[in-house]
């Protein structure tokens, strides 16, 4: 599995802590991690709005399979990611959230708070969240007797989101402020992840044209 971690400006100073915990879990499971957001306060400046655009590009192009994003509360990242077609993002503050998100919702992204509640033992909480996010079953329901309606509702939501996205992802991006999109796509590590793994040639060409 290919996994993207993206953090915005307010929490960029914690990137090394969060990345270390994610990497320690992912390495043991044979997954690849791409640190595509800010890795310090001096890095290419991103807000949680940019994170949504980045996540949409990486997931829709199949450059990555899963995204971990976050901001101070995690709420801004949650809304920004879910605004994008093809992104199904949950909100996660503890490992049980991660487990239930997999079992019930089976989405492709999680938003975490990296300021609110990020105190003593926060790195352990992050590690256990990553463990529960990347192991175990997906879409199996919880409790098990609720599996059938939960799987059905997840499929209904996916169909609904697809129906509302009338345009291709590139056409959707063209409707957004192009300067906003350009900033989202300018990061060197993001571009490397996208261009090395994307299965969407049209998106690749669009990104290259807008950041040229």
The whole-angstrom separation of Cα 190 and Cα 4 is 9
The answer to whether 95 and 132 have CB atoms below 8 angstroms apart is yes
| Cα-only R_g, the chain | 16
DSSP conformation letters of 147-205 = HHHHHHHHHHHHHHHHHH--S-HHHHHHTS-HHHHHHHH--HHHHHHHHHH---HHHHH
Q: What is the pLDDT of residue 62?
A: 98
- Domain ranges within the chain, ordered by starting residue: 2-211
How many beta carbons lie within 10 A of that of residue 40, not counting itself?
A: 10
31's CB contacts (< 8 A; 6+ apart) are 1, 2, 3, 134
Enumerate the H helices of the chain as residue ranges.
Answer: 15-29, 48-60, 75-82, 95-100, 122-134, 147-164, 169-174, 178-185, 188-197, 201-211
At the top level of CATH, the class of 2-211 is: alpha beta
The answer to whether 165 and 32 have CB atoms below 8 angstroms apart is no
Q: What is the pLDDT of residue 192?
A: 98
pTM for this model (two decimals): 0.94
Q: What is the pLDDT of residue 117?
A: 92
Distances (CA, A) of 98 to 90, 102, 173: 8, 6, 29
pLDDT in 10s for each residue of the chain, 212 residues: 999 999 999 999 999 999 999 999 999 999 999 999 999 999 999 999 999 999 999 999 999 999 999 999 999 999 999 999 999 999 999 999 999 999 999 999 999 999 999 999 999 999 999 999 999 989 888 988 888 999 899 889 888 888 877 788 999 999 999 999 999 999 999 999 999 999 999 999 999 999 99
Q: What is the pLDDT of residue 5?
A: 98
Q: What is the pLDDT of residue 42?
A: 94
The whole-angstrom separation of Cα 164 and Cα 31 is 32
How many beta carbons lie within 10 A of that of residue 136, not counting itself?
A: 12
Beta-ladder partners of 89:
109
The whole-angstrom separation of Cα 107 and Cα 162 is 14
The whole-angstrom separation of Cα 13 and Cα 10 is 8
């Amino acid at each position: 599995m290919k996994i993207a971690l993206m953090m915005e400006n307010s929490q960029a100073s914690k990137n090394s802590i969060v990345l270390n915990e994610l990497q320690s879990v992912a390495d043991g499971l044979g997954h690849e991690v791409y640190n595509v957001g800010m890795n310090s306060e001096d890095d290419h400046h991103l807000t949680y709005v940019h994170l949504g655009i980045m996540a949409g590009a990486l997931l829709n192009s199949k450059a990555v399979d899963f995204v971990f994003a976050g901001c101070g509360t995690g709420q801004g990242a949650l809304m920004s990611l879910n605004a994008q077609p093809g992104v199904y993002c949950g909100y996660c503050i503890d490992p049980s959230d991660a487990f239930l998100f997999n079992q019930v919702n089976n989405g492709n992204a999680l938003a975490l708070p990296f300021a609110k509640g990020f105190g003593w033992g926060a790195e352990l909480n992050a590690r256990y969240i990553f463990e529960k996010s990347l192991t175990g079953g997906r879409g199996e329901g919880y409790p098990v007797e609720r599996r059938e309606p939960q799987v059905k509702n997840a499929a209904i939501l996916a169909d609904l989101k697809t129906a509302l996205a009338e345009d291709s992802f590139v056409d959707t991006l063209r409707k957004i402020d192009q300067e906003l999109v350009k900033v989202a796509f300018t990061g060197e590590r993001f571009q490397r992840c996208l261009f090395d793994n994307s299965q969407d040639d049209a998106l690749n060409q669009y990104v290259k044209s807008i950041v040229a």
